[in-house]
A and B are shown apart, each in its own frame.
Chain A
């Protein structure tokens, strides 16, 4: 019975009813606008590399943040983990002269640790995750600054990586396309598997829909929450590793832009902050929209002071249309019943 219905409405209709369809159409519209304004330079490799590089960095963080948001949580501490991980890599491998592998492991461990603390506090208390992660953000920032100045005597640390490490984490192909882009795509594929193929992902959706029922249905919600926070800490730390190896220089103050930018990418990608809905494809498309707009303005000849207005307006438009789209779906389904 279900087969005949879906066959009748056709593949195109099915495709268009998916929430990603609207986001994809939005992306095409945005790209065409900036392609017209920006001309050949924006359509060419220079344009592609500029927005892909931005998309890769924020996208790696947006993926686990989107899972958290699907499960009904936020993570503000990502903005502090990025520089903390960069500094850890630089301190371990430059200042203490350990092999770069140890440095990278140390940097990633910072992220896992902050994520673990976040998860523990979120599951053990009834304090909203926004507040908890603001607290751990301050804590991580303070620890990174205090330790760096204490050990190194300055707020910035240098690190020149060996060519192999540079090739894996920090190379720019053709001098333009950073290797982080490939990491982002690989990580997105892994997240697609986690969320949409493996049973683990069902738990994430169930938790965002109704945590109490999810627990009663046997989903280990506490363990899952801690895992999600550790993933987001790990991803942020990985971006920190990419940054220090690509830029050879870590600064205490870097990273705060990731906090709101990652939330924006996720929300443009159709993930409801209230939990229970969203997809990895949507988040990747949302990240691309965000970066096409931020970089497109610079190619378009528009006043670059306008960039925030354009992003903000587009973001509001996206969350408001996602909202009405969701309402429409709900009405549609309740009528058909």
Chain B
């Protein structure tokens, strides 16, 4: 009983309940076969691509900032590696470094602009989002003449970034789990994690307490842009070609996953477990619906409802958690 109470006070409580509710809804109302749903790759692949970006974006939101430029950084990562290693025939290592390097540069710009000015990060990253959309399109069209650029990768790169485990599950799932563990350690076990919470709680107090707020914020923006480039790069390696569109839908999907996961946009509250489960929940709602008797056209309505309900639950649990005081023995 104490364990359940403790869980309910944690930031992941609403995420766990949402996940259970969604699966129960699909099994009972949608008559989905739980085994079939569990074995399916579609939602797990979807979750992994979403989740790799949701982790750093979630951390940014815990620190009180937001990044939407990743919507353009996914295709940017794909186009960069395909241009370097496909069109120009450079070794794949150069393509990988170029792709991640571009992410680092754009993240650095986002971070610098956010920390040096008073403009909210939503507007800054809306600007870089729009610019990078143009850069991606213009770069692909003027340098390769086509938005789908062919890319052939050596076997080792294909194995690491783009093969299907059991012919169905993308290898990105493994990357996602590993990254979730790393981010979990980073956020909850190191002092950097404490700094992130401090940033989101009260930036001025954090700075006065000696937290290098500017450096931390910039580092988080770099992580988020690099993660998006990584997802784009893996996609290009797996499918041997690129797409310029398709990143935009990620923007709201990632934010929704993070929010279902119990992260407070205003900062200072959240957990990696929550973000991970939130992403899973979002992916099951979105892709699991095709395993049910429910018409897939209703998917967005279920997502919206889940999001609002999760928000309300998060609010309730957060109040409980903040009002909690252990009984004196």
Whether, in the assembled complex, B202 has its beta carbon less than 8 Å from a beta carbon of chain A, the answer is no
Instruction: Give per-residue flags for B252-291: 1 if the beta carbon is below 8 A from chain A beta carbons, else 0.
Output: 1001100100000110000000000000000000000000
A131 near B134 with CB under 8 A, answer no
In the bound complex, CA of A297 to CA of B314 (Å) = 46
Interface residues of A in 115-147 (CB under 8 A from B): 121, 125-128, 130-132, 134-143, 145-146
Q: Which of B4-12, B96-104, B123-131, B150-158 contacts A (4 or more CB under 8 A)?
A: B123-131
B-contact bits for A297-318, CB 8 A (1 contact / 0 none): 0000001011111111101100
Contacts of A309 in B (CB 8 A): 130-131, 134-135, 138
Say yes or no for B76: interface residue by CB 8 A criterion: no
User: Which chain B positions have C-beta within 8 A of A142?
Assistant: 297-304
Asked if B113 lies at the interface with its beta carbon under 8 angstroms from chain A, I say: yes
| B21 → chain A closest CB, angstroms | 15
**Bound complex: CA of A150 vs CA of B298, how far in Å?**
10
Min CB–CB distance A243 → chain B (angstroms): 20
Residues in B104-142 with C-beta less than 8 Å from chain A: 113, 117-120, 122-124, 126-135, 137-138, 141-142
A327: B residues at CB distance < 8 A: 118
Is A194 interfacial (CB 8 A cutoff)?
Answer: no
Q: Mark B227-249, 1 if CB is under 8 A from A, else 0.
A: 00000000000000000000010
Q: A89 at interface (Cβ–Cβ under 8 A)?
A: no
Residues A125 and B252 in contact, CB atoms below 8 Å apart: no
- The reply to whether A139 and B118 contact each other, CB–CB distance below 8 Å, is no
- A320 touches which one: B113, B308, B311 (CB < 8 A)? B113
- Are B311 and A319 in touch, CB under 8 angstroms? no
Q: Which of A48-71 contact B (CB under 8 A)?
A: none
Known: A134-B307, A303-B138. A273 touches B298 (CB 8 A): no
Q: Is B134's CB under 8 angstroms from A306's CB?
A: yes
Q: A125-B312, A132-B311, A306-B138 are in contact. Are A312 and B133 (CB under 8 A)?
A: yes
Q: Is the CB of B142 within 8 A of A312?
A: no
Q: Which of A74, A138, A141, A305 contacts B138 (CB 8 A)?
A: A305
What is the interface of chain B mostly: helix, strand, loop, or mixed?
helix
When the two chains form their complex, are residues A136 and B308 in contact, meaning their CB atoms are under 8 A apart? yes
Determine whether A188 belongs to the interface, using a CB cutoff of 8 Å to chain B.
Answer: no
Query: Which B residues lie within 8 Å of A14 (CB)?
Result: none
Contact, CB under 8 Å: A319 / B123? yes
By a beta-carbon cutoff of 8 Å, the part of chain B in contact with chain A is 66, 113, 117-120, 122-124, 126-135, 137-138, 141-142, 248, 252, 255-256, 259, 265-266, 295, 297-305, 307-308, 311-312, 314-315
Beyond the given pairs A139-B304, A149-B295, 7 more chain A to chain B contacts, judged by CB atoms under 8 angstroms and listed by A's residue number, are A146-B295, A149-B297, A260-B130, A305-B137, A308-B134, A312-B132, A313-B127
User: Can you list 18 A-B pairs, Cβ within 8 angstroms, ordered by A?
Assistant: A76-B252, A127-B311, A130-B122, A134-B307, A139-B307, A140-B304, A141-B300, A142-B303, A146-B295, A146-B298, A150-B297, A256-B248, A260-B129, A303-B138, A305-B138, A308-B130, A323-B117, A323-B118
